[in-house]
């Protein structure tokens, strides 16, 4: 009796399918014949009330009919989809002009950073890094710049509001935080966890609370170089050689380096260093103000107090450090006349590189 009912359901469902004209009608058909409350589903749900003998016949038959109805539904749905596609509208016009898609590219500062890293890595230097939000200790104290020393005013600082932390510094005063004013802040961080000999470069973004003009930014990039070894193995001459090799490779022509006496609390002796003007070949031009030299950065032999702050013994090691403004170097390389353009985010400017 149930067998006949199932076969009748299948016959009725297939007949109903032949007169369906739209997709909503097909959905209705699905609910009627295959839905949760459909007659076929009711029969299958109540199988448990049948005798074992009946179950053996009704179960497989009910499931087979269900499968066949699902198959019919899929075929009908596919036919409806085919009909609903407007093939003419889908045709591709191969003569239509393409949509222009502009390529992205690296920012000139990023490109220069990679270029400089490549040159230094060919000279055996490895890369080091540090946080932009730095403690007063690494940015100043560890670099031999005491709190009340006028040298701290050489670099105007962005202090972090409520930067008084619960942590005490090594000299027992409250630790304060700032936006690092120089990549030199990474020196002691690195030395605390590494033993000489080593040679590293530290590229990075730094911040100074100063008024901006064509050659001064509040946010710019520096490049630091630190080489430390036993006494007698690293000297000012080593620095000069590395600097000349680097700048010659960077500018693709022979560049000379000149040192002038200067003062940095973390180096002794300290220098400002210039390179021979790459624009006029040191013969004198408006860019080098007819001097034949371009000011590049600061340098010196690492002060023994800096080594001590890192946990090395006084006199145990010797090394040089130098740092230069990467942003100013980019200006020279690409002949950019206003430093503020580089961080302006103005795509008309950036797209020229």
User: Cα-flanking dihedrals φ and ψ of residue 99, to 5°?
Assistant: -85, 125
Q: If binding is defined by CB under 6 A, does position 138 make contact with ligand FA5?
A: no
Which residue(s) pair with 322 in the sheet? 225, 299
The tokens describing 218, both together, are 């509040």
Using CB under 6 A as the binding rule, the residues of this chain from 219 to 248 that contact ligand FA5 are 220, 222, 224
Tell me whether residue 38 or residue 222 sits nearer to ligand FA5 (CB atom).
222
Tell me whether residue 62 or residue 300 sits nearer to ligand FA5 (CB atom).
300
Phi-psi region at 197: left, alpha or beta (left = phi > 0; alpha = psi -120 to 50):
beta
Of the ranges 15-23, 101-109, 218-226, 306-314, which one interacts with ligand FA5 (CB under 6 A)? Answer: 218-226
Task: Write the binding mask 9 to 48 for ligand FA5: x where contact by CB under 6 A, - elsewhere.
Answer: ----------------------------------------
Tell me whether residue 211 or residue 347 sits nearer to ligand FA5 (CB atom).
211
Using CB under 6 A as the binding rule, the residues of this chain from 145 to 164 that contact ligand FA5 are 155
Q: If binding is defined by CB under 6 A, does position 264 make contact with ligand FA5?
A: yes
Could you please report the per-residue DSSP string of 74-139?
Answer: HHHHHHHHHHH--HHHH---TTSPPPP-PPP---HHHHHHHHHHHHHHHTT-EE----SEEEHHHH
Phi-psi region at 311: left, alpha or beta (left = phi > 0; alpha = psi -120 to 50):
left
Tell me whether residue 62 or residue 297 sits nearer to ligand FA5 (CB atom).
297
Q: How far apart are CA 221 and CA 330, in angstroms?
A: 10
Q: If binding is defined by CB under 6 A, does position 319 make contact with ligand FA5?
A: no
Query: Residues 6, 10, 322, 342: which binds ligand FA5 (CB under 6 A)?
Result: 322
Taking the complex as a whole, the smallest distance from the CB of residue 257 to ligand FA5 amounts, in Å, to 14
Query: Residues 240, 298, 319, 336: which binds ligand FA5 (CB under 6 A)?
Result: 298
Of the ranges 36-44, 71-79, 197-205, 216-224, which one interacts with ligand FA5 (CB under 6 A)? Answer: 216-224
User: Cα-flanking dihedrals φ and ψ of residue 346, to 5°?
Assistant: -80, 110
Of the ranges 61-69, 92-100, 128-136, 297-305, which one interacts with ligand FA5 (CB under 6 A)? Answer: 297-305
Tell me whether residue 62 or residue 204 sits nearer to ligand FA5 (CB atom).
204
Using CB under 6 A as the binding rule, the residues of this chain from 191 to 210 that contact ligand FA5 are 208, 210
Q: How far apart are CA 19 and CA 127, in angstroms?
A: 75
CB atoms within 10 A of CB 352: 10
User: Cα-flanking dihedrals φ and ψ of residue 338, to 5°?
Assistant: -135, 115
Q: If binding is defined by CB under 6 A, does position 318 make contact with ligand FA5?
A: no
How many helices (DSSP H) and strands (DSSP E) are in the chain?
12, 9
Taking the complex as a whole, the smallest distance from the CB of residue 285 to ligand FA5 amounts, in Å, to 19
Q: If binding is defined by CB under 6 A, does position 321 make contact with ligand FA5?
A: yes
Query: Residues 186, 200, 278, 299: which binds ligand FA5 (CB under 6 A)?
Result: 299
Whether the CB-CB separation of 342 and 181 falls below 8 Å is answered with no
Nearest to 114 by CA among 201, 189, 243: 201
In the block, residue with structure tokens 């407007």: 86
Of the ranges 13-21, 76-84, 160-168, 324-332, which one interacts with ligand FA5 (CB under 6 A)? Answer: 324-332
Q: If binding is defined by CB under 6 A, does position 216 make contact with ligand FA5?
A: yes
Cα 100 to Cα 96, 97, 142: the distances in Å are 12, 9, 54
Query: Residues 113, 139, 184, 276: which binds ligand FA5 (CB under 6 A)?
Result: 184
Nearest to 66 by CA among 89, 85, 38, 40: 40
Binding positions for ligand FA5, rule: CB under 6 A: 155, 182, 184, 208, 210, 216-217, 220, 222, 224, 264, 267, 297-300, 321-325, 327-328, 339
């Amino acid at each position: 009796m149930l067998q006949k009912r199932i076969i009748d359901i299948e016959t009725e469902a297939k007949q109903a399918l032949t007169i369906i004209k739209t997709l909503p009608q097909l959905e209705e058909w699905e609910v009627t014949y295959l839905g949760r409350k459909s007659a076929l589903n009711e029969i299958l749900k109540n199988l448990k009330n049948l005798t074992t003998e009946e179950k053996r016949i009704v179960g497989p038959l009910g499931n087979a009919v269900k499968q066949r109805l699902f198959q019919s539904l899929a075929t009908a749905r596919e036919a409806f989809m085919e009909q609903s596609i407007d093939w003419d509208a889908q045709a591709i016009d191969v003569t239509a002009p393409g949509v222009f898609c502009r390529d992205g590219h690296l920012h000139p500062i990023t490109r220069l950073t990679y270029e400089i890293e490549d040159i230094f890595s060919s000279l055996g230097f490895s890369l080091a890094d540090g946080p932009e939000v730095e403690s007063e200790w690494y940015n100043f104290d560890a670099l031999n710049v005491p709190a009340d020393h006028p040298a701290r005013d050489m670099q105007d600082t962005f202090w972090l509001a409520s930067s008084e932390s619960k942590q005490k510094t090594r000299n027992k005063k409250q630790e304060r935080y700032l936006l690092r004013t120089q990549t030199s802040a990474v020196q002691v961080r690195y030395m605390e966890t590494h033993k000489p000999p080593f040679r590293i470069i530290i590229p990075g973004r730094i911040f100074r609370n100063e008024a901006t003009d064509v050659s001064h930014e509040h946010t710019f990039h520096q490049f630091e170089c630190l080489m430390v070894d036993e006494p007698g193995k690293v000297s000012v001459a080593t620095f000069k050689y590395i600097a000349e090799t680097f700048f010659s490779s960077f500018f693709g022509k022979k560049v000379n380096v000149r040192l002038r006496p200067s003062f940095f609390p973390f180096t002794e002796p300290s220098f400002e260093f210039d390179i021979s003007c790459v624009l006029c070949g040191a013969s004198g031009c408006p860019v080098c103000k007819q001097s034949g030299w371009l000011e590049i950065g600061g340098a010196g032999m690492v002060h023994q107090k800096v080594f001590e702050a890192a946990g090395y013994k006084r006199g145990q090691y010797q090394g040089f450090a130098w740092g230069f403004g990467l942003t100013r170097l980019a200006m020279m390389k690409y002949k950019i006349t206003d430093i503020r353009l580089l961080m302006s985010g103005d795509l008309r400017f950036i797209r020229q590189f």
